[in-house]
């Protein structure tokens, strides 16, 4: 039986963190009919008072990330009066960190979005990644943190963009049997080169859907099963010859693939600091 609930997400910043927490929690429930109401940048009692009638009209669960004590207290009071459950989703983590670090949290909204050095490095990473998509700009690949290689439609570009948003400079190159990659790919020293692969059946399905979305025919080698198997075999031989780590993206989301790559990057960094330079195992 499906139960509909209204979920109010109240944040004093962009609400990105709160939205991700809510999404992760909701993923644990099946057949949940949840109507989300998003209330970002709530930084004053006046703003809070303006949205309370909407919370009352669609009564449900309130999740919030508010650091201002007066605004928090006001929300909690109004929710109690309306009989609404209000949950401060970051309080437990913040409290534990205060104890571990021996200091109090700053209590300032949006601190994770400050335009500090890390922010500008992330912007630079995004610009680099966009400029080095699909084999472009191979002369600068040595400046990358990560280089992704794989056959067409193996999730190289979306994975690159996701990693760029995490602050990593990423280049990617499609592997084509008839067109060998530039020699510089095999001479890279600094970037972590990762091979992406997929099951032939899944790749054919993705390519076929792509062609259909472009109103193009599907009677082509691009979606021929035998041809696709040859492409994947070619890419796998290349990965094996160079000793590059390989990630099978067949049943992985972009986020899961990116997490695996970040883990590989961390492992390589730890091995380098220990003086170990052996290849990384496929994932």
Residue whose tokens read 């399905």: 205
Q: What is the distance between the alpha carbons of residues 98 and 119, in angstroms, rounded to a whole number?
A: 24
Q: What is the pTM of this model?
A: 0.69
Nearest-CA neighbor of 173 among 158, 188, 162, 157? Answer: 157
pLDDT by residue (tens digit) across 52-67? 999 999 999 999 999 8
Predicted confidence at residue 1, as pLDDT, reads 61
Q: What is the distance between the alpha carbons of residues 268 and 152, in angstroms, rounded to a whole number?
A: 27
Q: Is the pLDDT of residue 159 over 90?
A: yes
Q: What ranges do the domains of the chain cover? A: 4-112, 117-273
Its CATH architecture, for the domain 4-112, is 3-Layer(aba) Sandwich (3.40)
Q: Do residues 85 and 6 lie in contact, with contact meaning Cβ atoms separated by under 8 Å?
A: no
Mark the binding-site residues, compressed into ranges.
Answer: 150-157
Torsion of CA 66, 72, 78, 81, to 10 degrees: 120
pLDDT by residue (tens digit) across 200-251? 999 999 999 999 999 998 889 999 999 999 999 999 999 999 999 999 999 9
From the options 3.90.1720, 3.40.50, 2.30.29, 3.30.70, give the CATH code of 117-273.
Answer: 3.40.50
Mark the binding-site residues for ADP, compressed into ranges.
Answer: 150-157
> Do the domains at 4-112 and 117-273 have one common CATH topology?
yes
Q: What is the distance between the alpha carbons of residues 161 and 168, in angstroms, rounded to a whole number?
A: 9
Q: What is the distance between the alpha carbons of residues 156 and 137, in angstroms, rounded to a whole number?
A: 16
């Amino acid at each position: 039986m499906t139960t509909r609930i209204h979920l109010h997400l109240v944040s004093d910043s962009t609400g990105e963190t709160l939205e991700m927490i809510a999404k992760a929690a909701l993923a644990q429930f099946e057949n949940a009919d949840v109507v989300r109401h998003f209330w970002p940048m709530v930084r004053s009692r006046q703003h809070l008072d303006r949205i309370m009638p909407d919370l009352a009209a669609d009564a449900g669960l309130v999740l919030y990330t508010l650091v201002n004590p007066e605004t928090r207290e006001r929300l909690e009071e109004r929710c109690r009066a309306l009989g609404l459950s209000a949950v401060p989703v970051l309080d437990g983590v913040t409290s534990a960190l205060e104890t571990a670090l021996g200091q109090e949290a700053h209590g300032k909204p949006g601190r994770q979005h400050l335009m500090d050095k890390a922010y500008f490095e992330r912007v630079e990473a995004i610009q680099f990644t966009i400029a080095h998509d699909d084999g472009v700009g191979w002369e600068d690949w040595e400046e990358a943190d990560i280089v992704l290689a794989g056959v067409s439609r193996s999730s190289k570009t979306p994975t690159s963009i996701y990693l760029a948003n995490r602050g990593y400079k990423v280049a990617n190159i499609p592997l084509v049997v008839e067109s060998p990659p530039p020699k510089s790919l095999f001479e890279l020293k600094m970037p972590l080169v990762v091979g992406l692969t997929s099951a032939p059946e899944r790749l054919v399905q993705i390519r076929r859907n792509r062609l259909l979305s472009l109103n193009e025919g599907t009677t082509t080698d691009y979606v021929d099963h035998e041809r696709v198997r040859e492409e994947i075999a070619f890419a796998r031989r290349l990965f094996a010859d160079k000793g590059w780590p390989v990630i099978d993206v067949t049943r992985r989301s972009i986020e899961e693939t990116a997490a695996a790559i970040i883990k590989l990057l961390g492992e390589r960094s730890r091995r380098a600091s220990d003086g170990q330079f052996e290849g990384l195992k496929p994932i």
